[in-house]
């Protein structure tokens, strides 16, 4: 037996896993209760991703000899692999009772506690590991990840720096430090870290994906595409890389190939596929929850006032049920509290936000900013896990008139956005952890065929950016906050992107960005009076991504497959009497997706959306493809 165990250990040490497993199995055949063989074969199973088998084998070893700390520690590792983190923490604690001075077990306990969201306890565990071994690079890295999750970026930077000092070729620490530099608005330093991580480990999928995002932001799309593709090759179920690849392919005009990426990501995340045809499967990214379709603004660029459907508010029970299903099944990567209406009007908004936060679901709240007052902003930021999209859109006194008669004067309105920035910077200055980000949107209308003219020139872009930079810098100085390395805006690039229907985002401070938002005509409902619509012939290409990517639950439970379906013309079911999954995978949903391939009659709403706005006498063939300014995101 000892000879077989020695053979197994020798193979195991040299990475010959299958040969090691064969030796351990021969020992178990002769002696089923042998604790060493069961334990070692359990480690092999864990290394091969068979954590269920690993738990079974190591539990057998513990049953025979419960006094070995390594057995309990490795049981904890297998339980973590099964996301049974409470049990994993218990296993590590038993191991520590047997060997209290083992820094690795303390660090493993910290990992399990971090997975459980018990950040203070996890940092205590990492601290104990480092007290026992100050040069434990992995514990420094693990501590940094918790500090990063809590928004303590300076502390996290110090932890990652120390891990890298101790191990200059530590790929995880280099990748994590790159994340920090990116969050701090230092893309050059981030790129250096990601490249160093890849030099240390060329097959590191996460670093390829992160480097891709930096390169994409630096206007190097071809290089970014290479790294996104490599990330997906290395990790086919890496849905974040699949999404990033899809977004970049969209920017290259490859909508169908992009949708395939989203479908692959959805299947990897949920295990759901289309029973009808693979190319008709959902590729859902976001779930839109319309808390209400009522709005207190009357914007000329929004079709809210021409809705014909009934107005109302979503029941709290329906909202929580949707969050539950998303959390349990992974049907979306985030929930967007928007479709039509102003969500801050909902009487249960903060309870809904808090519930989403409790489920670990990121929520994006889109608001016109009318409710961003001193009483509500702290409550909003306290309850949100995700992003506040503060839809300023009309950033000047002159353009504000396009919001209609709203009973809110310009000076008071713009002060709401200044208050939001001040509250965020105050929290940063106090060192408070944040679980939200803020993006302010302003509208760029150059080359738009819409009804309004807002930001249209190089000077417009630069003046608006300078205004918000100056305000942010003034508050930083007042609060004693370290000045943020804000980039210079590139107005020509902003205007060019807007002409292509894409958006440009610049960081004002950590967790605070200004997005120059490309105007769109909302399915051609907001086309300027000088234009007329020319619909396409049936044989003309009309593929659209929205029925594949979008799913929206309206306030009354109706489900639409397009985020621009303001009047519920594309509904495919109702979740009051079934599950969201059932509606998303229904024949009605598949039929709508089929219409994008010309295999079903295109709905009238889609025909209008895909029509070309042209000036009288203009040849539709000269109008180019369906206007990109019709897109909502």
For residue 372, give the nearest of 474, 440, 451 by alpha carbon. 440
Name the most confidently modeled range: 5-19, 101-115, 260-274.
101-115
**pLDDT in the model for residue 4:** 76
Phi-psi region of 404 (alpha: psi -120 to 50; beta: other; left: phi over 0): left
- Residues 136-175 pLDDT 10s: 999 999 999 999 888 788 899 999 999 999 999 999 999 9
State the chain's mean pLDDT as an integer.
89
Looking from the CA of 513 toward its CB, the CA atoms found within 13 Å total 19
Mean pLDDT value of segment 86-105: 97
Mean pLDDT value of segment 314-336: 95
Angle, CA 236 vertex, CA 230 and CA 240 arms, to 5°: 80
Three-class SS state of 571: strand
More confident residue, 118 or 608: 118
Distance CA 561, CA 572 (A): 7
pLDDT band at 523 (very low <50, low <70, confident <90, very high): low
The answer on pLDDT for 131 being more than 80 is yes
CB 592 within 8 A of CB 604: no
The answer on pLDDT for 473 being more than 90 is yes
The CATH classification number of 278-630 equals 3.20.20.70
Residues β-bridged to residue 550: 286
Mean pLDDT value of segment 568-581: 95
Can you count the helices (H) and strands (E) in the chain?
A: 26, 12
CATH topology of domain 1-134: 1.25.40
**pLDDT in the model for residue 622:** 45
The answer on pLDDT for 505 being more than 90 is no
* Strand boundaries in 286-425, DSSP class E: 286-289, 334-337, 363-367, 386-393
pLDDT > 90: percent of the chain: 58
For residue 287, give the nearest of 351, 333, 329, 350 by alpha carbon. 333
- Residues 242-276 pLDDT 10s: 989 998 998 888 888 889 988 988 988 888 876 66
pLDDT band at 624 (very low <50, low <70, confident <90, very high): very low
**22-26, 39-43, 245-249, 516-520: least confidently modelled range:** 516-520
**328-337, 407-416, 478-487, 528-537: least confidently modelled range:** 528-537
The answer on pLDDT for 53 being more than 50 is yes
**pLDDT in the model for residue 589:** 92
Structure tokens at 169: 């070729």
The terminus-to-terminus CA distance of the chain in angstroms comes to 65
Equal CATH topology for 1-134 and 278-630: no
Mean pLDDT value of segment 69-91: 95
**pLDDT in the model for residue 621:** 52
Delimit the domains of the chain by residue range: 1-134, 278-630
**pLDDT in the model for residue 500:** 67
Mean pLDDT value of segment 21-29: 86
Burial class (CB in 10 A: 0-12, 13-18, 19+), 394: buried
Angle, CA 99 vertex, CA 93 and CA 104 arms, to 5°: 75
- Residues 398-447 pLDDT 10s: 989 888 888 899 999 999 999 999 999 999 998 887 889 999 999 887 76
CA separation (Å) from 538 to 459, 604, 611? 43, 12, 12
For residue 458, give the nearest of 470, 446, 468 by alpha carbon. 446
pLDDT band at 67 (very low <50, low <70, confident <90, very high): very high
The answer on pLDDT for 521 being more than 80 is no
The answer on pLDDT for 623 being more than 60 is no
pLDDT band at 9 (very low <50, low <70, confident <90, very high): confident
CB 560 within 8 A of CB 571: yes
**pLDDT in the model for residue 526:** 62
**pLDDT in the model for residue 618:** 64
Query: Which DSSP helix (H) or strand (E) runs through 441?
Result: strand 436-444
Helices 205-217 and 187-200, axial angle in degrees (round to 10): 150
């Amino acid at each position: 037996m000892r000879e077989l165990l020695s053979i197994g250990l020798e193979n195991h040490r040299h990475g010959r896993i299958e040969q090691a497993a064969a030796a351990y199995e021969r020992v178990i055949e002769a002696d089923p209760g042998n604790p060493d063989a069961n334990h070692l074969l359990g480690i092999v199973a864990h290394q091969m991703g068979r954590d269920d088998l690993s738990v079974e084998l190591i539990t057998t070893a513990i049953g025979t000899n419960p006094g070995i700390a390594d057995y309990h520690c490795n049981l904890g590792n297998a339980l973590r692999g099964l996301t049974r983190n409470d049990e994993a923490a218990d296993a590590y604690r038993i191991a520590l009772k047997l060997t209290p001075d083992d820094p690795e077990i303390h660090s493993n306990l910290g990992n399990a506690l971090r997975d459980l969201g018990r950040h203070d306890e996890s940092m205590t565990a990492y601290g104990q590991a480092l007290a026992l071994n100050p040069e434990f690079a992995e514990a420094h890295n693990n501590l940094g990840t918790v500090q990063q999750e809590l928004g303590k970026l300076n502390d996290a930077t110090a932890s990652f720096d120390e891990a890298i000092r101790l191990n200059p070729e530590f790929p995880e620490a280099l990748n994590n430090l790159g994340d920090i530099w990116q969050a701090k608005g230092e893309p050059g330093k981030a790129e250096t870290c990601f490249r160093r991580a890849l030099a240390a480990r060329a097959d590191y999928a996460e670093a390829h994906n992160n480097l891709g995002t930096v390169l994409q932001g630096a206007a190097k799309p071809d290089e970014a595409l290479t790294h996104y593709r490599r990330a997906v090759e290395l990790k086919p179920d890496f849905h974040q890389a699949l999404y990033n690849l899809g977004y970049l392919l969209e920017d290259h005009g490859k909508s169908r190939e992009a949708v395939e990426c989203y479908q692959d990501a959805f299947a990897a995340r949920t295990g759901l596929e289309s029973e009808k045809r693979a190319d008709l499967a959902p590729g859902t990214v976001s779930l839109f929850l319309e808390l209400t379709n009522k709005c207190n603004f009357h914007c000329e660029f929004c079709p809210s006032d021409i809705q014909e459907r009934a107005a109302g508010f979503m029941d709290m029970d329906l909202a929580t049920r949707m969050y539950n299903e998303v959390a349990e099944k992974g049907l979306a990567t985030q929930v967007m509290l928007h479709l039509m209406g102003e969500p801050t009007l909902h009487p249960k908004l903060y309870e809904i936000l808090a519930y989403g936060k409790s489920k670990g679901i990121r929520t994006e709240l889109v608001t016109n900013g009318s409710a961003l007052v001193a009483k509500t902003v702290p409550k909003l930021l306290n309850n949100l896990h995700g992003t506040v999209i503060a839809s300023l859109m009309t950033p000047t006194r002159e353009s504000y008139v396009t919001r209609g008669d709203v009973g809110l004067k310009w000076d008071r309105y713009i002060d709401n956005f200044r208050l939001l920035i001040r509250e965020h910077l105050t929290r940063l200055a106090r060192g408070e952890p944040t679980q939200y980000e803020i993006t302010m949107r302003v509208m760029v209308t150059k080359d738009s065929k819409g009804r309004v003219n807002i930001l249209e020139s190089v000077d417009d872009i630069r003046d608006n950016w300078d205004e918000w930079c100056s305000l942010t810098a003034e508050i930083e100085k007042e609060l004693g906050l370290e000045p943020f390395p804000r980039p210079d805006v590139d107005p020509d690039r902003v205007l060019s992107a807007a002409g292509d229907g894409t958006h440009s985002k610049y960081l004002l401070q950590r967790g605070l960005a200004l997005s120059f938002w490309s105007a769109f005509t909302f399915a051609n409902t907001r086309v300027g009076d000088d234009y007329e619509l020319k619909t396409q012939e049936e044989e003309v290409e009309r593929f659209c991504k929205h029925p594949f990517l979008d799913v929206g639950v309206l306030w009354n439970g109706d489900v639409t497959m397009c985020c621009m379906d303001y009047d519920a013309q594309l509904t495919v079911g109702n979740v009051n009497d079934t599950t969201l999954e059932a509606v998303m995978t229904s024949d009605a949903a598949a039929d709508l997706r089929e219409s994008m391939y010309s295999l079903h009659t295109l709905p009238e709403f889609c025909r209008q959306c895909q029509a070309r706005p042209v000036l009288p006498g203009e040849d539709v063939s000269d109008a180019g493809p369906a206007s990109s300014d019709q897109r909502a995101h």
